[in-house]
């Protein structure tokens, strides 16, 4: 019978803290934080934050439960292709924005729609990403609960920082420029996904 090693009570907090620090440092300036920044510049911040946190919580749960094998659930090309299509759609949509559309129309977009958009974009972009693999690895060598809590808190903090930056920095730009910038950004992410799909990078 396989014996399951008990986790020492005094190791939970250090494990969570180490995971928090490593994941937070790895995610600063990463694509998921930039996605939160650009979405928050165009939409309300709270649904973006909640959607990102929900996606990361789910991804981290999958990682600590199933380890590095999580990326093998679907062929990598399927996930990469879905990311490319999703980012391309949002990029084209943002670039087609007309300057005469006003802020009130955007502000009135249902919160659940923004939440779902953010959740889907973050989930697909981060599925099988290096951060999730790192969480899976740490979860296999340390307390899984501590790893999940530390990683999820770290990614929640980086998402909140991205939303704050989007609301306070990008929001100072004219609305049509916000859409142009976010459109170009999403199209670049789509291009990177296509290049990865083709094995160029």
Specify if 51 maps to a domain: yes
- In this prediction, residue 107 carries a pLDDT of 44
188 belongs to a structural domain = yes
Q: What is the pLDDT of residue 95?
A: 77
Q: What is the pLDDT of residue 143?
A: 82
Give me the count of residues in the chain.
Answer: 201
> What are the tens digits of pLDDT across the range 6-43?
445 567 888 888 889 888 887 777 778 888 888 888 78
How many CB atoms within 10 Å of residue 196? 16
Whether 96 maps to a domain, the answer reads yes
pLDDT in tens, 48-100: 999 999 999 999 998 888 765 555 566 767 767 876 887 787 778 767 765 44
Q: Is 46 domain-assigned?
A: yes
pLDDT in tens, 114-173: 899 899 989 988 887 777 877 887 777 678 899 999 999 999 999 999 898 887 776 666
- pTM of the full structure: 0.69
Structure tokens at 121: 């974009």
Query: Above 60 in pLDDT, residue 104?
Result: no
pLDDT interval class at 3 (50, 70, 90): very low
Question: What is the model's pLDDT at position 56?
Answer: 94
Domain contains 55: yes
Number of folded domains in the chain? Answer: 1
Domain that holds residue 130: 15-197
Mean pLDDT over 172-180 rounds to 68
């Amino acid at each position: 019978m396989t014996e399951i090693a008990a986790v020492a009570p005094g190791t939970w907090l250090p494990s969570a803290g180490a995971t928090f620090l490593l994941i937070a440092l790895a995610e600063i300036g990463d694509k998921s934080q930039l996605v939160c920044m650009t979405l928050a510049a165009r939409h309300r911040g709270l649904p973006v934050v909640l959607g990102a946190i929900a996606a990361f919580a789910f991804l981290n749960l999958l990682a600590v439960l199933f380890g590095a094998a999580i990326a093998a659930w679907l062929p990598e090309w399927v996930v990469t292709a879905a990311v490319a299509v999703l980012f391309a759609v949002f990029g084209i949509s943002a670039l087609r924005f007309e300057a005469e559309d006003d802020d009130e129309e955007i502000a009135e977009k249902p919160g659940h729609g923004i939440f779902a958009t953010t959740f889907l974009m973050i989930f697909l972009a981060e599925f099988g990403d290096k951060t999730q693999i790192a969480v899976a690895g740490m979860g296999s060598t340390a307390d899984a609960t501590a790893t999940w809590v530390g990683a999820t808190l770290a990614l929640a903090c980086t998402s909140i920082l991205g939303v704050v930056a989007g609301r306070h920095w990008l929001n100072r730009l004219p609305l049509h420029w916000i859409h142009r910038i976010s459109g170009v950004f999403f199209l670049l992410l789509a291009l990177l996904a296509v290049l990865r799909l083709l094995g160029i990078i």
